[in-house]
Chain A
C-alpha cells in the first residue's frame, strides 16, 4: 500500500469522501445522543454494540484515520522539503495514527468484554 504519498487524485478524493462520512456519522451520533434523556456508559455500550452502529463506528474510525493521514501528508509535503526528514515525519505520523487505531480497538475490546 503506497499510502498515497506519491499520488494526487486518490488522496484528494479520499479526503472528501471521508469528510462527508465523518459529517454524516457525527450528525447521526449527535441525533442518537440527544434523543435519550440520560447518556450513561451502559447506554453508550448498548448503542455502540448494536450491529449497525458497530459497523458505522468502525467505518468512522477508519475514515478519521485516513482523513487525518491525508491532511497531515499535505501539511508535511508543503512545509518539510528535506526528503529524509519528510520521510521520517511521514513515518512518524503513520506510527501515531496506527497507534491511535490500535488504541480505539483496545477500548472497544475492553468495552465488549467488560
Chain B
C-alpha cells in the first residue's frame, strides 16, 4: 500500500515536502495507526503523536486523504491510494504530523470547562435527575482531538478570536449542566462578533468528529439560550 506523508523538520528542512512510502505486509482489518507504526520501523525519523490506539485519547488526529480523523480508528481498507497524510490544518507544525495545540487548548480554557458553584459546596454530591443528566449526552464525550476545530473554515480565518467547535461544545456542556451556577457569565463571555458568532453552520465539525458528536447543534443551543436569557 502506498502512502504520501507530509514531512517537515524545522531544524533540517527549509520547507515542508511530501515523502512516499510503501508498506507490503498489510493485515486484514489493519488501522492506519498500525501502518504508521510499521512505517516508523522503516524510517525512525517519521514523527506523529499516538497513545491509546482505541479512539479514546485523541492523540493521533491527522488529516487523512483530505479529511481530519483519528489514525487508530481509520481502517486502511477504507482509504484510496496513495494515502495522503498531513498534519491537522490551521495549526503550526512542530514536526511532521505533530502540531502545536496551544491555540486549541487556550480556546478550551477560555470557556472555563469546569463546574462553577456559587453556593457553599455541599458535603455530599450535587445530585441530578435522569432528565437533567440526559441533557449532557452528546456533549461530555468530546476527547479534544481537535479534528473539528481544525476542519472549520471560521477557525482558519480567525483562529485567535473564534473559539472553534470543540471549545463551544464544551461551553454548551457546562451551560446545559443543571449543577452549574454561572449561566449568565458563561453566556456573556461568548457575546461579541467573534467568539461564538463566527460559526456559519458550515458543519465540517459534524462531518469529521470521530465520536459522532454535533458541535453545530450545541452552538445553536447556546444561541437559543442567549436569546431566551436576553428576553
Residues on A facing B (Cβ under 8 Å): 4-9, 11-13, 73-74, 77-79, 81
Question: Quick one: which of B158, B192, B196, B226 contacts A6, CB cutoff 8 A?
Answer: B192
Residues on B facing A (Cβ under 8 Å): 154, 157-158, 190-198, 200, 223, 226-227, 230
Q: Does the CB pair A74–B200 fall under 8 Å?
A: yes
Q: Does the CB pair A8–B158 fall under 8 Å?
A: no
Q: Does the CB pair A9–B226 fall under 8 Å?
A: yes
Name 12 extra pairs, CB < 8 A, besides A4-B193, A9-B227, A11-B197: A5-B193, A6-B192, A7-B192, A8-B191, A8-B192, A8-B195, A8-B197, A11-B193, A77-B193, A77-B198, A78-B157, A78-B158
Which chain A positions have C-beta within 8 A of B190?
8
Which chain B positions have C-beta within 8 A of A73?
193
Which chain A positions have C-beta within 8 A of B200?
74
Q: Does the CB pair A9–B157 fall under 8 Å?
A: no
Q: Does the CB pair B197–A12 fall under 8 Å?
A: yes
Q: List 12 A-B contacts (CB under 8 A).
A: A5-B193, A6-B193, A7-B191, A7-B193, A8-B191, A8-B193, A8-B196, A8-B197, A9-B223, A11-B197, A77-B194, A81-B158
Among B158, B193, B197, B230, which residue has the most Cβ atoms of chain A within 10 A? B193
Give the Cβ gap from B162 to chain A, nearest Cβ, in Å.
9
